[in-house]
Amino acid sequence: MKLTKILAAATLVSGLATAAVAEDPTKVGFVYVGPIGDGGWTYQHDQGRLAVEAAYGDKVETVYQENVPEGADAERVLTQMALSGADIIFTTSFGYMDPTNNVAAKFPDVKFEHATGYKREHDNVSTYDARFYEGRAILGTIAGHMTQSNKIGYIASFPIPEVIQGINSSFLHAQKVNPDVEMVVIWAYTWFDPAKEADAAKAMIEQGVDVILQHTDSTAPLAEAAKTPGVIGFGQASDMAEYKPSPRVASIIDEWSPYYVKRVGEVMDGTWENGHSWGGMAEGEVVIGEITAPVPADVKAEAEAMVAAITSGEYHPFTGPIFKQDGSVFLAEGEVATDLQLVQMDFYVQGITAEIPQ
């Protein structure tokens, strides 16, 4: 029997089943790129899954799969999850973009939500992402005020637009409050290698960096910062509260719960529609964790005011005048970056001396 026939039959049967037994719980699937125990990216997505369970109780059933490689295995995992009767599947890593769309073509009645991507080739595929650069603006502001050496560091993973947005946003806002500030970037060329992250933090500290921002998910840089008095850092992805009040003086938290709860709810009441969601502070998807005591009250107040301004939509972190590294104009006075400009960002802003790896 042909696969397409089987799939068609399966879809038909599941469609009938849903109609017949309305009490059937909505089945929600999650595909994770790492282990839940990574304490960062995947952990936060799983917190979102738990929030869905908490919100809907018996009316939902959630399933998940950890450690799914982005290569050849993703499509199989997705297909099997769809075959098992999932109503909506969240695929939580960029590398699942093509597999998500491929599988969605075969299961028109299953909803697919792909995180951080841009392809929506079918009506049952949505994409979603969070405006992490909004949070980076706050951290950059704090960093600019707090640095004594005027050197702030950024541990980056790979040279892709999202990471470059983060570097630019933090640097712009640090520079705004401290024109002498310098940005030191180290590319770890990995998403996850705690030992390497620790070494990167150490290298920065040895070269006079006293505020560390990170785009990799382990607490290793904070632990390294804790060894040198006067060096501070920020929680990344999760709050990393165990390093409060110092060296962790604030944190940028990926909060997927509101989005997951909302979208699953829409599937349940039949109002789900495909589209792209890029939520930020306003939607509660990017959260700044508690700003702790080493940060002076006026700086804290300034940071909180910026959170309020971004949340209300009054302020956009990429508002002109902003110049590219080569001196050309990126945004004119008062101009606000479009989402397209942001997602394609492949340059540093003026003032960063390093070069993006080509």
Partner 1 sequence: MIRLEKRPSPSRAWTIATPLVAVALTMVAGSILFMILGKDPFAAIKTIFYDPLFHPDFAAFSRPQLLVKAGPLILIAIGLSMGFKAGIWNIGAEGQYIIGALAGAAVGLALYPAESFLIYPAMVIAGALGGWAWAMIPAILRTKFRTNEILVSLLLVYVAENILASAAVGWLRNPEGGGFPGSRNLSKWASSANPELISGTGMHWGVVAAFIAVILAYVVMSRHLLGFQIQLAGQAPRAARFAGVNPSRLVVLCLGISGMLAGMAGLFEVTGPAGQISIDFNSGYGFTAIIVAFLGRLNPIGILLAGLLMALTYIGGELAQFMLGLPAAAIQAFQGMLLFFLLGVDVLSNYRIRIGTGKAA
Partner 2 sequence: MDLSAINPVVLTASLMVAATPILLAAIGELVVEKAGVLNLGVEGMMIIGAICGFAIAVETQSPLLGFIAAALGGAVLSMLFGFMTQVLLSNQVATGLALTLFGLGLSSLMGQSYVGIKAPSTPSLNLGPLSDLPVVGKILFSHDLMVYVSIAIIAGVWYMLRYTRTGLVLRAVGESHDAAHALGYKVIRIRLLAIGFGGACAGLGGAYLSLVRVPQWTEGMTAGAGWIALAIVVFASWKPWRVMIGAYLFGGITVLQLNLQAAGAKIPVELLSMSPYLITILVLVIISSDRRRAALSAPADLGKSFHASL
Residues making contact with partner 2 (CB under 8 A): 34-35, 37-39, 43, 153, 184-187, 189-190, 192-196, 198-200, 202-204, 206-209, 218-220, 223, 238, 240, 242-243, 353-355, 357-358
Q: Residue 6 or 241: which CB sits closer to partner 1?
A: 6
Q: Where are the alpha helices (DSSP H) in the chain?
A: 3-20, 41-56, 73-83, 97-106, 132-146, 161-177, 194-206, 220-226, 257-268, 297-312, 339-343
Nearer to partner 1, 189 or 242 (CB): 189
Shortest Å, Cβ 107 to partner 1:
11
- φ and ψ at residue 276, rounded to 5 degrees: -120, 130
Instruction: Give the binding range for partner 1 (CB under 8 A) out of 15-23, 76-84, 167-175, 278-286.
Output: 76-84
Per partner kind, with CB cut-offs from 5 to 8 A, the member of partner 2, partner 1, none near residue 290 is: none
CB of 219 to partner 2, least distance (A): 5
CB of 197: closest distance to partner 2 in angstroms? 8
Of 167, 198, 288, 345, which lies in the binding site for partner 1, with binding defined by CB under 8 A?
345
Report how far residue 356's alpha carbon sits from residue 358's, in angstroms, rounded to the nearest whole number. 6
Find the shortest distance in angstroms from Cβ 248 to partner 1: 28
- Per-residue tokens: 10: 């399966």
Cis upstream peptide for 159 (omega within 30°): no
- Give the one entry of partner 2, partner 1, none that residue 153 binds, where binding means its C-beta sits below a cut-off of 5 to 8 angstroms depending on kind: partner 2
Which strands, in side-by-side order, build the sheet including 151-156? Answer: 182-187, 151-156, 211-214, 232-237, 248-254, 286-289
CB of 9 to partner 2, least distance (A): 37
- Can you tell me the distance from the alpha carbon of 220 to that of 121, in angstroms, rounded to the nearest whole number? 39
Question: Hey, what are 124's tokens?
Answer: 């049952």
Restricting to residues 110-129, which ones interact with partner 1 according to CB under 8 A?
A: 117-118
Nearer to partner 1, 148 or 190 (CB): 190
Under rule CB under 8 A, residue 53 binds partner 1: no
**Residue pair 139/170 in contact by the 8 Å Cβ criterion:** yes
Name the binder of 294 from partner 1, partner 2, none, CB < 5-8 A by kind.
Answer: none
Residue 199 binding result from partner 1, partner 2, none, given CB thresholds of 5 to 8 Å by partner type = partner 2
Which value, in Å, is the radius of gyration of the alpha carbons in the chain? 22
Neighbours of 37 (CB within 10 A): 10
Question: 3-state DSSP helix/strand/coil percent for the chain, to nearest 5?
Answer: 40, 20, 35
Per DSSP, 246 falls in state T
Residue 95 interacting with partner 1 (CB under 8 A): yes
Question: Under the criterion CB under 8 A, does residue 15 sit at the interface with partner 1?
Answer: no
Say which entry of partner 1, partner 2, none residue 76 contacts (CB below 5 to 8 A, set by partner kind). Answer: partner 1
Interhelix angle 161-177/132-146, rounded to 10 degrees, is 40
Give the interface with partner 1 as residue ranges (CB under 8 A).
Answer: 1-4, 6-7, 10, 29, 35-36, 63-67, 69-73, 75-77, 79-81, 83-85, 94-95, 97-99, 102, 117-118, 158-161, 189, 343-346, 357-358
